[in-house]
Structure 1
Amino acid sequence: MTALPEPLGPDVVAEYGTGLQTTRVLRAPDGGFLWWQGPGAQVAGPLLAPAAHLVPRLPDDTGAALLTVPERAGAGLLHRVGGSASAAAWLRDFRPRARALVAHSLASAARALRTLHAVPVPPPEELPLGAPPGLGRLRDWAHGSGELRERALACWGAERMERLLGWAADLAPDPVRDLVPAPAHGPVQGPAPAARSLIHGWASLGALIPPLSRGRVALLTGEDLAAGRPELDLGWLLGELVELAWTTPHQNPADLQRLLLEAYGPGPDPVLVGRSAVLRVVTHMQDFATYRGWDDELLGYIAFTAELIDEEGRRAVPQGVS
């Protein structure tokens, strides 16, 4: 399929990014908005969404968010949505109506994710879906070098780093690192494969777009589609709420956490959800250091994530919700 041109021009209403990714928001002729995401300066393009055809189209009457699949545009991907600001941006607006909008968006996202998680994962020979790219970057950082890694190891100790990598392997095994090939004679070595579902791979407040007026909430979907435990998507969103509560003390996300899990429904393992939340916060810390550079603020993150690892992210899962 021929790619559309990269959207530019006077209709741009917002643009931001890091060395990992650039986001550009434009007004669309139909009154909606175009969200274009392209490779950052430290990433070789183009961005692709090869498994986007697996994403289900959810009817309007389900109360679920629209899982928007992108079109190729230049070196990036283009989504058509009804809003110009993400749920992450709306959370910085302290008006009660803004928080109600975020709550509605999280519930819609939870319903959409439950449907996505029910989509059968294609066999590897048809479409090899690995772990989400975010976990790949986390693994590369853990096995690499750099100031953040050295300072984290000095604070955490090697045992905490190993626990993190073990949780990543349980939630979304990496075919190369986490599964050891079988010897010529004998059983397969290494951990048992996790129960695999189709997962969003980057279910994020920044990818959750409430409509500006009418229409459906949208969850930008496609680029990070992967195979893994469904708890990973839930923990990714809950981890962002945990981080928000830490960085913004007057924010209490307990009601939003509870609402997200209740809207998703029964089934997720709360232990795995909590561990996934920790992986999200550590991935954000690691991405910040990699794509924006060292900042002394990261020293606080290192201490904070040590606490999260020790408690296995239990603060992300309100009591009584499982």
Structure 2
Amino acid sequence: MTAPAVPGRVVAEFGTGYLATRVLTAERGYLWCRRPGHARPCPFTPVPDAVADAARAWTAHGSRVVLGAPGPTDLDNRRPDGAGTWRQYRVPAPYSLGHVLGNHAAAPLAWAALPRLLHQVGTVLRRVHTAFAGSPAPGGPPGAARVAGWLAGAPVTPAAGRLRREALARLGGARMRRAGEWCADVAAGGTGERPVLLLGGVSLGSVIPSPGGDACTVLAGEELATGHAAFDLGWTVGELAEFRLLHFTGPAGGAAAEHCATAARALLSGYATAPDPDGPRHGPADTRPDLDAVARSAVLRILAHGVDYAAFVGWRDQLTEYLDVVAGLLDHPMGTIEGPPGAPAGRRTGPGTEEQ
């Protein structure tokens, strides 16, 4: 990891019970300082030395992965298990692609560049997965584990319990069991290929665009895991599908929804066409992502956002709209990529860009 930088003034602060973020000025750009939220069930994952060393090579057209360095401490919120420790990331902007999707008029260059930036994220992910096709990180992705626990009846808050009761009524037992089976498959590392190092699910809230929209920085290291390469891709595809199916709906949202669909296709294209930095003999023979596995992970991502919102923010009636969309996608998961006709209309007032 790089040496800690000296933080400047706070320009933004946001988060949930799962993840807290402070953005500060720095000598060159900004520092994003993040720590586990007060209700987070586990600390950030450690970053193996081999992964930290390899991260210097994980770039694509100027885009890169930053794994973070020890950051400033907050003694009032530090927990004995170390879960309150801050990590800091040097980045070029005070906002993420999650913020851009929530208010794209405020960052028009990044919004226009969204497909290009997601293509670069796909290329970066390919390099990560190729570098560690045999992962040094223990355990499966925490996001899928949280959904699995919730499905099994272990909600962590009354709001999460209420969401589960609503899910039993709206999804039905068969769909709930199907989602659980998909979580179990993710936990087992998938089938048909060697497990790889996962960044743990790349959130749009962790992708920071450059001011000119020509490159981006991917914040990672907090949820390193081992599993099927499709999981990382599906986590991002799921967020784009969530905006498309729940927030960019109706005639007014048509162009924005198509922009999100184009960005999802660009992510998958960037992954499939990324050159193997070690030559074609060293990487897997087929670099095309397993679209069925990507789509299943994307559905789990949408469900996870609803579950996490209820658990770490609170109840909103619009959460039931998430369940209605998830019900259809559990039947037709490729709708996360292809966009099923007649998808239920959502509202912009539902859970949106809060960091998870």
* TM-score computed with the length of structure 1 as normaliser: 0.83
The residue number in structure 1 matching 2:295 is 274
Amino acid at match of 1:38: R
The residue number in structure 2 matching 1:310 is 331
Say if 2:137 and 2:226, in contact at 8 Å, map to a contact too: no
Residue 169 of structure 1: CA displacement?
2.0
The residue number in structure 2 matching 1:76 is 86
CA deviations on 1:15-37 (whole Å, 9 max, x unpaired) are 101111101111112x2110111
Residue 313 of structure 1: CA displacement?
3.6
Q: Any stretches of 5+ residues in structure 1 without a counterpart? A: 175-190
CA RMSD of aligned residues (A): 2.9
Secondary structure in 2 matching 1:83? coil
Identity among equivalent pairs (%)? 33
Q: 1:72 to 1:213 in 2, by over 3 A?
A: same
Amino acid at match of 1:300: E
Q: Any stretches of 5+ residues in structure 2 without a counterpart? A: 74-84, 156-160, 273-286, 341-356
Residue 90 of structure 1: CA displacement?
1.8
User: How many residues are paired up?
Assistant: 297
Say if 1:86 and 1:210, in contact at 8 Å, map to a contact too: yes
Whether 2:113 is the aligned partner of 1:101: answer: yes
Q: Take 2:23 and 2:111, find their aligned partners in 1: how far apart are those partners? A: 22
Q: Take 2:239 and 2:113, find their aligned partners in 1: how far apart are those partners? A: 17
Secondary structure in 1 matching 2:188? coil
Amino acid at match of 1:99: W
Say if 1:172 and 1:229, in contact at 8 Å, map to a contact too: no
The residue number in structure 2 matching 1:259 is 266
Q: Take 1:130 and 1:26, find their aligned partners in 2: how far apart are those partners? A: 32
Secondary structure in 2 matching 1:43? coil
The residue number in structure 2 matching 1:241 is 240
The residue number in structure 2 matching 1:132 is 141
Q: 1:60 to 1:257 in 2, by over 3 A?
A: closer
Q: 1:153 to 1:193 in 2, by over 3 A?
A: farther
Amino acid at match of 1:118: T
Q: 1:229 to 1:71 in 2, by over 3 A?
A: same
Secondary structure in 1 matching 2:65? strand
Residue 302 of structure 1: CA displacement?
1.1
Residue 89 of structure 1: CA displacement?
1.4
Q: 1:33 to 1:168 in 2, by over 3 A?
A: same
Amino acid at match of 2:299: V
1:49 corresponds, among 38, 43, 46, to: 46
Q: 1:61 to 1:87 in 2, by over 3 A?
A: closer
Say if 1:21 and 1:40, in contact at 8 Å, map to a contact too: yes
Residue 43 of structure 1: CA displacement?
2.8
Secondary structure in 2 matching 1:118? helix
CA deviations on 1:179-203 (whole Å, 9 max, x unpaired) are xxxxxxxxxxxx9797311111121
